[in-house]
Structure 1
Amino acid sequence: MSQVTLKKSLFGITKDHNESIKYTLSTSDGFEIALIDYGATIQSIRQPDKQNNIAEITLGYDTLQGYIEDKCYFGCTVGRVTNRIKNGYFQLDGIDYQLEKNDNAKHHLHGVFNKHIWNSSTENDDTVIFKYQSPDGEDGFPGEVDVTVKYTLTNDHRLIMDFYGKTTKPTPINMTNHTYFNLSGNTNETILDHQLIISANQFTPLDEEHIPTGQIASVENTPNDFRKLTCVGDHIHEIPYAYNVMFIVDGEGKRSFGKLVHSKSGRAINIESTQKALQFYTGTYLDNVNGREGVIYKKYSGLCLETQNYTDSVNNQPQFPSTILRPGEEYHEQTFFHFYLE
């Protein structure tokens, strides 16, 4: 049975002379995940293919400076609220809140959790824990929020991600991981030949600015129907901006969200989560990004499978599930990525 080992190293130093630490979790059969405390980020995942050739299967950077300058959210923890909040505005308990408008100076997008060095620690040889205290008023959000992200790797290549949060004031919270995958092991290739299943009968339509309309629609007879194994490129040109879609996964608690397969290499990922939905994004806005090992990332170089609550829930009540966390409550969501060969 393969065993998990953990190695700690220096990843880089910020201009303020703060050290960034890298944690590498690996198994004896060649699977490896590297994590950095800057943004509680998945910096690298290396996986053997069916010929036992080990290759990188994510997009990212070689250096800390790459992540400091990053605008693509490669591998990072996203928060306080992932995805867009319309006009950077919401009302909670009768109080108006205006957030930073960091998406084309019009909407709020993702937040700034990915632009901080998190406190880090380890458990056993298979778990890395990152903690961050988001101050009251950060990005315009109310409440001081203590968040924790815990990554655990099992010896059979299951990555377990736990997201926790507590707050001093009522506040929205909706965290996710923003890794871009390319299972081919060659990011000069696109992800259009990857095959995908998403366990969703419905999705949330968007307007031209990627803001939910508040409606919930069926995937039936649309390019968004991934209930059976479907090639990502089959219908991608039938929809504006390619895929940047929130899929509603039926049920509660830990359940199957789907799987991603690259048949040529044999690499695959099974996804399970306690979350409400899955954001499927095909890297439409990647535009000549200088990535790892000198590779230039372009449109469709990678895809994201982000487990999360509904986008802009705070402005679509009561039809969307609430993202509000209140004092005395604990936010906890869990996602499982099982990397395997088929």
Structure 2
Amino acid sequence: MKRSLTPILAAALLLSISACNDTSKSSVDMAQTDSTSTGLQLDSTKFQKEIDGKKTNLYILKNKNNMQAAFTNYGGRLVSLLVPDSTGKLVDVVPGFGSVDGFVQSTEPYFGATIGRYGNRIAKGKFTLDGKEYTLATNNGQNTLHGGKKGYQYVVWDAKQPNGHTLELSYLSKDMEEGFPGNLNVKVIYSLTDDNELKMDYEATTDKKTVVNLTNHAYFNLNGEGSGSILNHVLQIYADQYTPVDTTLIPLGKNVPVASTPFDFINPTTIGKRIDAVNEQLTAGKGYDHNFVLNGTKGLGMIHAATLKGDKSGIVMDVYTEEPGLQFYSGNFMQSKNKFKGGATDDFRTALALETQHFPDSPNQPNFPSTVLNPGKVYKTSTVYKFSK
């Protein structure tokens, strides 16, 4: 972005802590970091609203290292994430809005949201199970994106907070919602560990054969919300292959090597180094908006998907998952139309997403890992974003 941090961003952080186990009340208890911290005020009352007959609220998770994560149950969203930088100063690395209304009115609906029933795209809004074709709501040209016109980012989740570092969200996605078969009971547990890990545990069951692909669409700027472009962030993705797409960003059905292409992040590389290269895949995505096929490199007992480092803050984020793919999106459709909680706008490529998930359009791609969930089975997967300096 072409602006410096506002005075609000230079002030101490005040975060309202929501009451545990009750979406209708919020504690007046306030937590303040030391005066050297970079932060902003989150007013819990601005997250208390009624949408579709259900109440929304703000929830705060903390660990012993002063890390803090703020969520709202509207869309199951990560609102803010305060992480210590190389000097110990807290930096809000997740762009978001300071109220529920900000998320409701945003021209970009996915900031920080829990995504479902199917993250990423399904071609032409159709897929077939056991010989029966299902027609979905289309919301991305001719395709279905992130669950359709009213994906999980637009619903109010049931929330309970059993302790100061855990938030449990649940939602019943009814049979044929947005065209998907089966009553799907979904639960997501977000937890903040004392090892500076933001953990996401997903679980779902169905009463009818269906497809499921859950993820979180947090945007990150490790230099801080409002700090400018992410093009000088250094990224390493532990993937030898990626999934090429057509002009509507639907996979062509094959995975190809990243070697000798702008998609080679096997070694740490600045994001902007090749983003403007003459390449039909970069043209299709207006930058990076592609699935990377993870190698299976292990860490924390999971697959080590990626490592990202902020060039100004020195903050390092390692991504671990049980999913086979990682969607890297370089903020190509950010258009300066929305004002974040600190006053900055969502300028072009000032945040990025690293979404752990199954591959796009898997229900129509027999060569891709299956996303089918049968009755009596449990969909279960975990992702961890671990921070260090």
**Other-structure match for 1:286:** 334
User: Which one of the candidate residues 121, 139, 144 is aligned to 2:183?
Assistant: 144
What letter matches 2:360 in structure 1? T
Structure 1 stretch displaced more, 201-210 or 252-261: 252-261
Q: Residue 277 in 1 paired to residue 314 in 2?
A: no
1:85 aligns to 2:128 (yes or no):
no
SS in 2 for 1:214: coil
Structure 1 counterpart SS, 2:133? strand
Code of the residue aligned with 1:249 in structure 2: it is L
Contact 1:187–1:302 (CA under 8 A) maintained in structure 2: no
Shift of 1:188: 4.3
The answer to whether the aligner puts 1:202 opposite 2:236 as a matched pair is no
Q: Residue deviations 1:317-340, cap 9 Å, x none?
A: 1x1011000100000010011011
The counterpart of 2:385, out of the listed 326, 337, 341, is: 337
Matched, 1:7 2:17: yes
Please state if 1:35 is matched with 2:71: yes
Structure 1 position 15, deviation (Å): 5.5
How many residues are treated as equivalent by the alignment?
A: 335
2:354 equivalent in structure 1: 305
Q: Which residue of 2 aligns with 1:223?
A: 262
Alpha-carbon offset, residue 16 of structure 1: 5.3
The one-letter amino acid of 2:112's match is G
Taking the TM superposition and a 5 Å limit, the aligned residue runs for 1:167-186 are 167-186=206-225
RMSD after superposition:
1.7
What amino acid maps onto 1:340 in structure 2?
S
* CA 1:176–1:186: 2 relative to 1, 3 Å: closer
1:324 maps to amino acid: V
Q: Per the alignment, in what secondary structure is the counterpart of residue 363 of structure 2?
A: helix
5+ residue gaps, structure 2: 1-14, 19-25, 27-43
- Offset of residue 18 of structure 1: 3.7
- Give distance in 1, aligned partners of 2:231 and 2:198: 24
Q: Which residue of 2 aligns with 1:110?
A: 146
C-alpha contact 2:304 2:321 (8 A) present in aligned 1: yes
SS at match of 1:334: strand
Instruction: Evaluate the alpha carbon distance shift between residue 312 and residue 50 of structure 1 in structure 2; reply closer, same or farther with a 3 A threshold.
Output: same
**Offset of residue 186 of structure 1:** 4.3
Aligned: 1:254 with 2:302? yes
Aligned to 2:345: 296
Report deviation, 1:51: 2.0
Asked whether the equivalents of residues 6 and 26 of structure 1 are also in contact (C-alpha less than 8 Å), the reply is: no
SS at 2:342's partner residue?
helix
Amino acid at match of 2:176: G
TM-score w.r.t. length of structure 1: 0.94
Determine the structure 2 residue equivalent to 1:314.
363
Deviations 1:288-335 (A, max 9, x none): 132223211111010000000010001111x10110001000000100
In the alignment, is residue 48 of structure 1 matched against residue 84 of structure 2? yes
- Pick one of 150, 156, 159 that aligns with 2:198: 159
TM-score scaled by structure 2? 0.83
Percent identical: 36
Question: Aligned in 2, Cα 1:202/1:15: closer, same or farther, shift over 3 Å?
Answer: closer
Q: Aligned equivalents of 1:65 and 1:84: distance in 2?
A: 27
CA-CA distance at 1:220 after TM superposition: 0.7
Structure 1 residues without counterparts, runs of 5 or longer: none
Deviation at 1:17, TM superposition (A): 6.1
1:267 matched to 2:304? The reply is: no
Separation in structure 2 between the aligned mates of residue 54 and residue 151 of structure 1, nearest angstrom: 20
Q: How far 1:206 moved relative to its partner?
A: 0.4
Does structure 2 conserve the Cα–Cα contact (< 8 Å) formed by 1:141 and 1:171?
yes
State the shift of 1:121 in Å.
Answer: 1.1
Residue pair 2:57, 2:72 contacting (<8 A) in 1 also = yes
Query: Does 2:60 correspond to 1:24?
Result: yes
Distance 1:26 1:181 in 2: 19
